[in-house]
Chain A
């Protein structure tokens, strides 16, 4: 694994400075940590969203390697075409024999959990040699904070507002990582931008594997969450420590917790750091919070079982 010092000395991958991501946004860190581990140049496809907009306003680009964005729902399908072209041209001897490349598709949670799910499932099932990264900030942030199927229960967004009758999003988020793991991929995992060593170690492992790989990386969005940009990393860690976002990996079918939580913090500790949960801390929503905590506990228990950590 390349450590931070090594990564900063070989400043040739991922994003250049000067992109337009907000202060406190996690995705530039995600790219830095992951791309720093790739031993070969990376070709990137990115779904329409904050990352694509903030890094590529013509005639500028922050991408040091080859990059393509085409639409919202098709990052995985586009990378399928690129990776296949690479295989075809390599086979015909039209690319230098020694040339190695990694193929990475990126999407936000909207572009991955929702509109891009079909393309993602297809690419994983066809077993392309790709890595798909979901940078998950739990809502459609680029269009102005709308609910996605990754939005947490009770979370306020502009389409699941904390109203007088309905207190935010009604449903618990979809377990996408498990869905992708069910495709029998060579690697599926969850990470958090707040635990960067864990994230880098996962990336290092991923780039050593041939076949379909998926990494779901949790990252706060200070605008969408109503959080302090200076607290991004703390909040990203708190999500893990409350077990709202357990970090683990499924490597060739084997589930493994990569951060054990000995003393689980209450979810309200996480809620307190963000405006999107402010309404949940009011007395009238006590029952709802209790239900969500029970569901978090139940899922955590199930995950421990799957990881052979059974209590």
Chain B
């Protein structure tokens, strides 16, 4: 258990908590824009899309009011946004963007290229359902669509985590052992437009934490010209993909190191996931994003009624912390995995598919029920999460697809 706990997030573990803190009321979008102002990238290329528009809108004010040194490219599409980011990052500039849903989908081709070129671009992503039918509200279809693109993926439970994750994403992406692009995501409207009281760290402290960007290569150096993006055939492509895989594997260690360093400086230590009442839990909910916040209430309510429920809130989806996660769940007999998107593999949602795969390798076979919920922003209430946990606890071992995957709250 000790090792598993190290991989978990925890707050207030350092003396920093005693220092004077500055709290401000911010929406998730404002928090991410604020992080971008403090990160102060060299270049930002972005395109508007609900519900992420505000991030770049606020950032455009920072640019035009001279609060950042950033050159802002108001591109004509998200595809061009990511393409311009690739050009910029290849030229040794710290580069950021923001998007959501269809915008991320339009970037899809370029996401893979950014990762393949090992460019530490950082993206503020706001989770929103994908068309069709068109829907502007939260689910994780967009971000899950990019899960195999080679990007680091961090989920946020609230505006504070969105702010903290975006700052850490820069360090993770730029780490010489990683050199992969990274995004931090919030849940559309639920976090992006919800006002919260969050701690904003001093500009100077963030600047110090981020450090100076030392690019691995740049197209702007004439002394040693190079070619990036050569046609890569049967003889080398495989090795280059393998190198990206090594970066993703190395990211696991780096994410924990940076999470600890962040904790030492700002007060909250970040790991792969956070556990609530995991120690003696008989049923655990695994959730991503804002639903974890709702689940905290459900867990406490069930505990009051004598039901040993727990929560595992996953923060890092890529790289997937398979070994650490199953270790943390080793003693848990029943698990409810919450997927706010479906992979349409007719087997399980993306999170459940990952967890089942990890459990198999660990030789663990708990009762696991996958709940597909909240698609297109359909609300999920803590009472429903209580029902889900109780139902998972009481259910027999699932025997068929219908008992393994439950479309929760859908009108059949």
Known contacts A68-B87, A85-B42, A95-B220; is A119 also within 8 Å of B80 by CB?
yes
A209: CB under 8 A from chain B? no
**Quick one: which of A72-118 are within 8 Å of B by CB?**
73-74, 76-89, 91-92, 95, 99, 101, 118
Contact status A69-B229, CB under 8 Å:
yes
Interface size for A (C-beta < 8 A) is 47
Q: Which residue of B lies closest to A57 (CB)?
A: B231
B91: CB under 8 A from chain A? yes
Of A58, A66, A119, chain B has the most CB atoms within 10 Å of the CB of A66
A71: CB under 8 A from chain B? yes
A126: CB under 8 A from chain B? yes
Residues of A close to B92: CB separation below 8 A: 85, 89
Rounded to whole Å, the gap between the CB of B226 and the closest CB of chain A is: 6
Partner of A81, one of B84, B222, B226: B84
Q: Which residue of B lies closest to A121 (CB)?
A: B76
Known contacts A68-B219, A91-B69, A92-B42; is A77 also within 8 Å of B84 by CB?
yes
A56: CB under 8 A from chain B? yes
| A71 CA / B42 CA spacing, docked (Å) | 23
Contact status B70-A88, CB under 8 Å:
yes
- Interface digits, B94-121 against A, CB 8 Å rule (1 contact, 0 not)? 0100000000000001100100010000
| A163 CA / B57 CA spacing, docked (Å) | 53
Contact status B222-A41, CB under 8 Å:
yes
Partner of B83, one of A64, A65, A66, A74: A74
| A70 CA / B229 CA spacing, docked (Å) | 6
Residues of B close to A208: CB separation below 8 A: none
B75: CB under 8 A from chain A? yes
Rounded to whole Å, the gap between the CB of A19 and the closest CB of chain B is: 12
Contact status A81-B221, CB under 8 Å:
no
Contact status A87-B71, CB under 8 Å:
yes
Contact status B93-A89, CB under 8 Å:
yes
Partner of B231, one of A53, A68, A82, A85: A53
A61: CB under 8 A from chain B? yes
B260: CB under 8 A from chain A? no
Residues of A close to B83: CB separation below 8 A: 70-71, 74, 77-78, 80-81, 119
Partner of B87, one of A61, A63, A81: A81
Rounded to whole Å, the gap between the CB of B96 and the closest CB of chain A is: 12
Residues of B close to A76: CB separation below 8 A: 80
Known contacts A77-B87, A86-B91; is A69 also within 8 Å of B80 by CB?
no
Q: State the A residues within 8 Å of B (CB).
A: 41, 43, 45, 52-53, 56-61, 63-71, 73-74, 76-89, 91-92, 95, 99, 101, 118-119, 121-122, 125-126
List, sorted by A's number, 12 A–B pairs whose CB atoms are closer than 8 Å: A66-B221, A66-B226, A67-B219, A67-B229, A70-B83, A70-B113, A71-B113, A81-B91, A83-B87, A88-B71, A88-B93, A119-B80
Q: State the B residues within 8 Å of A (CB).
A: 42-43, 45, 69-71, 73-77, 79-81, 83-93, 95, 109-110, 113, 117, 219-222, 225-233, 236
